[in-house]
Amino acid sequence: MRRLLLIIVVTTVAWAGTASAAGGAAVVTKLTPNRISAASTASVSITGLSAAGLPSSVELLLQRGFSTSAKSVSVLCKAGQASSSTCPSASQIGTAAAGVSLFGTPLAVPLKLFLSEPSKAGDIASVILSGSEDGISLNVSGRLFVPRRRGLELLFAAFPSAPVTLDSLAFYVHATRTTTSKGKREHGHRKTVKTQHSLITNPSSCTGSWTGTVTLSYSSGSESLPFSAPCKKPSGRRR
């Protein structure tokens, strides 16, 4: 039942941006809402993969202007919890599904995404991809950081070796949290300041769409899939 529900969710999402490679692979994306500067929910689906085996790395690169905050969750998964697949539920930031083929038999592996402590100095956080189905287990840690060329990057570079072929991979991520603090004193009282922290905050400008690239690396080479998702400015007239 869990697998069936996951397949239904993944295949019925209305994707808003699509890009295909010559070999048939495609990446489709959606940001909700897609307004500038909004805290957003992101959906990313990669389908039509044909390379044998699991990739050695998966890189998701978003254009300049996107931002993220590790404070979007109330607690970060610790390194020991991540390695033992015991991340607290409060650190979960989304779900995922890996479509694999095991000796020619298709199988959907449900996964969860957790925000964890950064594994490298200067990183924003780590993202843990964890789950299992019918004896197939995945527990991969990815780096969430700002690359040299700016933007925002999520890099999974330690996929385990397994006798399966990755056919598709889908992510659905969202996390926001509001914190309160005391501001400057005014008229004898300190004003309460509320701050929203979001896992994904959209860029502050829009020229029609926002762009990114998914790159999958294998022992035989790599495949880069550019994608775009439509964006819009706030509606309403200026007074």
pLDDT digits (tens, 9 = 90+) for 153-210: 999 987 877 778 889 999 999 999 999 877 666 666 777 888 999 999 999 999 999 9
Give, for 27, the enclosing helix (H) or strand (E): strand 26-32
Spatial contact of 204 and 36, defined as CB atoms under 8 Å apart: yes
What is the pTM for the complete model shown?
Answer: 0.83
pLDDT of residue 181: 78
Q: Band of the pLDDT at 21, cuts 50, 70, 90?
A: very low
Strand 136-145 relative to strand 41-47, pairing: unpaired
Spatial contact of 126 and 141, defined as CB atoms under 8 Å apart: yes
Average pLDDT over residues 100-126: 92
DSSP secondary structure, 70-125, as one string: GGGSSSPBPHHHHHTT---GGGEEEEEEEEEEETTEEEEEEEEEEEE--SSTT-SE
